[in-house]
Structures are given as C-alpha cells and as structure tokens.
Amino acid sequence: MPSATPLRYRVAMPEPSSHEFHVTLDIPALRDRPVLDLVFPAWTPGSYMVRDFSRHIYDLKITGNRHLLPCERVDKLRWRVASNGQPVQVSYRVFAFEQSVRTSFLDQNRAFLIGTSLFFLVDGAQKRPCLLEVEPPAGWLLSTTLPALRGTRHRFSAANYDDLVDQPVEVGKHRQYAFRQGGTRFEVAIAGATNADIARLHAHLRRIVGATGVLFGGFPFDRYLFIIHTLPERGGGLEHASSCTLDIAGMAFEDEKAYQRFDELCAHEFFHAWNVKRIRDQVLGPFDYTGENYTRLLWFHEGFTEYMQAIILLRAGLLTPEHYLKDLGEDWAKYAGRPGRNVTPLSELSFEAWIKQYKPAENYANRAVSYYEKGKWAALLLDIMLRQATAGRRGLPQVFRRLWQSHGRRGRPVTVHEIRAAAESVGRASLGSYFSRYVDGTAELPVPAWLRRAGLTVKARSPAQAEREDRVKARRLQGWAGLSFASGEGAVVKNVIPDSPAWRAGLTFRDEIVAVNKHRVDASTVGKRLADSAPGQTVTITFFRQEILRTTSLRLVRSPERRWSFAINPTASRPHRRMREGWLRGF
Ligand SMILES: [Zn+2]
C-alpha cells in the first residue's frame, strides 16, 4: 500500500543518564480496525531466545482525540485498545541499560537504537510504511542505513515494520568512516575507546568486503553499515540485511590474535548479509516477533557461516593456510573432546536452540553441542567432499553462489532439500548419506580422514605424547578422571563425562571437591593432585554435596584426550594436492 499513511515513531532522550528512551508512536486512522492490538517483540531476529523486551516498558499512555483511551493488557506483550478507527498516540518509556548487539542502550555518552527492543508493532498494520524521528542530545551524530527524508538529518523512512527494526541506529559522538567498493558505499561507526590501530581495522574490513563481494559476484545493497561498539569485554555480533553490529573488547588489541578475532567477527556478520538474511529458511523473515520461530537450519545459517568466515579471510589474504591449519587442529581437539557432539542431530540442535542452547542445563555439554561449532565442521566436511568430487575445482563457495542466484537474489526461501540439491549439482554427486548421517543423524564427522585425503598430514597425540621431552610431565598427564571444573576458587564440578571414572564413582554437577587422597585442593590444584596418580591407581575424593561432606573413590584410566595437528603434506598425491589447493586457495 504505497500511499498508506505511515506509522510515525519518535524517540527522544532528554535525560540520557536515566537510561530511558521516551518513545511516541502516532498511529493514523485505521478505519477497518476499531480495535488495535499493540504488540512488543519478545525476541530479536538473529538471537534465538525469548527475551520479553516488554519488561522494560514504563508509563504507557494511549490517547485518542486528546483523551486517554482505556486499554486492556492482554498478555506480557500485547495491549488492546478501542480506537474506533480514529488516530491514536501511544507514548511510553523504555529502560535501556543492557549493552549488547541485540538490545537498545542509552547513557550519557551514546545511544543504540534497535527497534525490536524499542518499538511496538501494530497488529495487522505491519506492512504499513514507517517514519522514524530521532531527537538526540546536542552534538550527537547518527549512523544508520535507514534513508533520511529529503532535507533532514534525523528523520528516516522505512518500508514497513520489519524494515524499521532491521536497521539499528547508533547515536553519539562515535567516529565515522566510509569507503566504496564496486558501487556500494560502506560506512563504519566506531563508538567507545580502543587501543586498536583503526587504520588497520579499516583496511581489514575493506579486504573482507572485497573477498565476499568476489564470492557472490557483487553486493545486494547500495549501502552497508558496520556499527562497532568497543566494550570492556567481547559481546559478539548481530547481522542485519544492510548492516551489522559488532561488540568487541576495545582495549584488547595487544596482540595479533585480537586482530584475527576482529577479522573473524566481521567476516562472519558480513557473510550473514547473504546467508540467513537473504539465503534463508522460510520462517526467518518476515518474522513472528511474539515467540519462537523454529528452524532446523541454524547449522547451515550459523555453522556454515562460521566455516565460510575463515574461507573469506583466506581469500582476503588476512589468514595464511598454515595459520588456518594450526587453528583448525586446536579447534578439532576441543570439538573431539566434547562428550555431547554425537548425541543430538544438527537439525534438532537448531530446532531446540531456543530452549536448550540458550537455556543450557547442567547436562548440556553431555547431551548437545553448539550448532555453530558442529555446523562449522559439517561445512568443512562438505567442502572437502565436493572438492574430491570435482578434482578441487568446486566446493562450498560455489554452493553459496548457486543458492544466492537461485534463491536469495529472488527472495525465495531455502529448504534443506534445496541446499542438498545445490550441493549435489555443484559436486555432481549424491550427498544423501551426508545429510542422513551428519545433519539428521549423529554419526561422528570423519574430519581427520577427509583432511588426509585433502593433502594434509594429520597427527593425534595423547597429552603425554605431546609432552614427551619432559618425562615427569608426560607421566603425570596420563591419568584421567573425566571431570571438569567451574571457574572460581573452590573445585566445583562443572561436568562429569558419562561413563568416566568420576561418573561411575557417582560424582555429579556442583559437587565441591575439597581433598584428593586427603590432600586439600581448590580449583587451581585439584587437577594437579589427580595427576599425582597414574592410570590404574585408585584415588580417594572428599567432597561436599550441598552441605554434607562425603567420600568416594575412583580408579583413574588412561587419558582419552588427544591433541591434534593438521599441516600441509608436501608429499601428497596429485589428486589430493588439487583438492587442497581448491579448498585453501580457490573460490
Ligand atoms: Zn552468526
């Protein structure tokens, strides 16, 4: 409805130190709707957890014709008002004190506006155009991809509610940068203190943008904005169709690793402008903001993005193959040590993310694994399988390009069958068993075997073998109980691996171990005292379970943990070298 009168949102911040936005929503006369339902989002797309943002609303007033209108609070996120088809004004305040990529924030230095935690939607009028007017304190700048109305700097238009809430606004005295690439304007807003070399961050962003553009053959937007918040600690990123928000640790740029982490986060969120924002499951846009939007594809949208971020950095020259393989070995060691990696299928991990991954119980690590992490390994496996089928010429980048052309660009959602069909046509091979075993099944991902086929040497060493030159240390690393501990002072059990010696001895989550063989221990010494005994020896464990002191004994076994290393195999056969070259260097 191009000529429909827009919904008009106004955001003022007269007292930034109160952390309260003053929001006004003017709803025009909706003649066909005598009763209006005002709905406040329960979640923000890209962050799959119900957060009930309406808990931060105060002083809600609904007026019509200068009179207060009675309204009925239907449930936690819905207000119902009889407007009789007349214009209505809704005013309220939103407390905004959580600094995260998914929530609005306000203090005396800056404001971050993200519509899902700020704006009501009017049920049934979601397709109407929206206007946004921001009233910042004097001297504050605005950065957003929302187009400004002609001749204004603080008034913006959005095609509809979805469009409005998918374009955050950074407000404050942040630094602004811009560059062009292939006809597209890229803007960067950096808010907060940092010890990073800004010119270097900027140069890295350009390379990431360039390599991703090469992969997809251009950009699907005219403007793109990176909003970067520098915080005391890392806070991750959140993708939007034409922008992303990155919460990084501002003062952590003290080594190369910090720049690598920045590169990875940028490449990840930027890749999402295609994978999940445009190449996406049906339920992931337009969204239902009132509750869970269930998808079985998060392993693809997140895990495959996690994998592709490294491929982008390799192609951008920001990561060498040697460095990548070294990281890959360390990451595989972590993954292969996760007891829950083959318990729940990837498709189910995705579906249940709302209630399991983001609300983890004590047993989470034993029953599940992150779909980011397992999805990344599944992506690597598929890339290498496709490289084998095509003598190294084609792989996962081609699958993404194909899905972009066939679906994303045309606004068609993808299904798992279409992802499989795209991969099969790129590899010209059947991939049925890949999907049944690794996506819908729980078979171990045969990553080491496939890495050997892709021209790598793959080594797995026990902790003792890895410390062979120090004989004392090597001997002490052989025994294993199957326990991990929470961070803190006391040796509080975080996890007990199923069927491990500790499991069989009856130890469980939150037990606090106070002595090993009658020797006092805390979080920093419990591992050392356990290592005093060798595999086959029995140790006595004294621990508190709640308030009661107890004793048990367990017999250590040989450690099943492995340290993995992956490296280029210089004597790999020609077909294997071709696969490797295609995987690590080709597009
Ligand atoms: Zn992501």
Residue 378 domain flag: yes
Helix (H) or strand (E) holding 260: helix 256-271
In sequence order, the 6+-apart residues with CB closer than 8 A to the CB of 122 are 7, 25, 27, 30, 36, 37, 38, 39, 128, 161
Residue 31 domain flag: yes
Residue 17 domain flag: yes
Q: What is the DSSP string of 382-423?
A: HHHHHHHHTTTS--HHHHHHHHHHHTGGGT--B-HHHHHHHH
Residues 453 and 519 in one domain: no
CA of 497 to the centre of ligand 1 (A): 29
Range of the domain at 503: 473-558
pTM above 0.95, yes or no: yes
Residue 312 domain flag: yes
CA of 2 to the centre of ligand 1 (A): 33
Residues 478 and 388 in one domain: no
Q: What is the DSSP string of 261-279?
A: HHHHHHHHHHHTTTBTTTB
Last residue of a domain, one of 173, 194, 221: 173
Tell me if 531 sits within 8 A of 476, measured CB to CB. yes
- Which residue, among 213, 218, 211, 394, has the nearest Cα to 315 in the 3D structure? 211
Last residue of a domain, one of 157, 173, 189: 173
Residues 344 and 370 in one domain: yes
Q: How many residues does the chain have?
A: 587
Residues 477 and 342 in one domain: no
Residues 314 and 433 in one domain: yes
Residues 437 and 482 in one domain: no
Residues 529 and 416 in one domain: no
- The per-type count for the chain, helices as H runs and strands as E runs, is 18, 31
CA of 277 to the centre of ligand 1 (A): 10
Angle at Cα 383 formed by Cα 380 and Cα 385, nearest 5°? 105
CA of 564 to the centre of ligand 1 (A): 26
What pLDDT does 586 receive? 77
CATH assignment of the domain containing 518: 2.30.42.10
CATH assignment of the domain containing 454: 1.10.390
Residue 285 CB burial class (10 angstroms; 0-12, 13-18, ≥19):
middle
CATH assignment of the domain containing 67: 2.60.40.3650
Residues 161 and 60 in one domain: yes
Residues 25 and 115 in one domain: yes
Residue 286 domain flag: no
What pLDDT does 2 receive? 52
Residue 96 domain flag: yes
Residue type, 471: R
CA of 415 to the centre of ligand 1 (A): 19
Residue 376 domain flag: yes
Largest separation between any pair of C-alpha atoms in the chain: 85
CA of 232 to the centre of ligand 1 (A): 21
Residue 485 domain flag: yes
Residues 320 and 454 in one domain: yes
Residues 360 and 403 in one domain: yes
- Which residue, among 223, 233, 242, has the nearest Cα to 180 in the 3D structure? 223
CA of 531 to the centre of ligand 1 (A): 39
Low-confidence ranges of the chain (pLDDT < 50): 1
Number of domains in the chain: 3
Q: What are phi and psi of 329, to 5 degrees?
A: -60, -45
CA 349 to mean position of chain CA atoms: 14
CA of 266 to the centre of ligand 1 (A): 10
CA of 275 to the centre of ligand 1 (A): 9
Last residue of a domain, one of 173, 193, 211: 173
CA of 445 to the centre of ligand 1 (A): 22
What pLDDT does 1 receive? 46
CA of 419 to the centre of ligand 1 (A): 18
CA of 450 to the centre of ligand 1 (A): 26
Residue 32 CB burial class (10 angstroms; 0-12, 13-18, ≥19):
exposed
Residues 529 and 408 in one domain: no
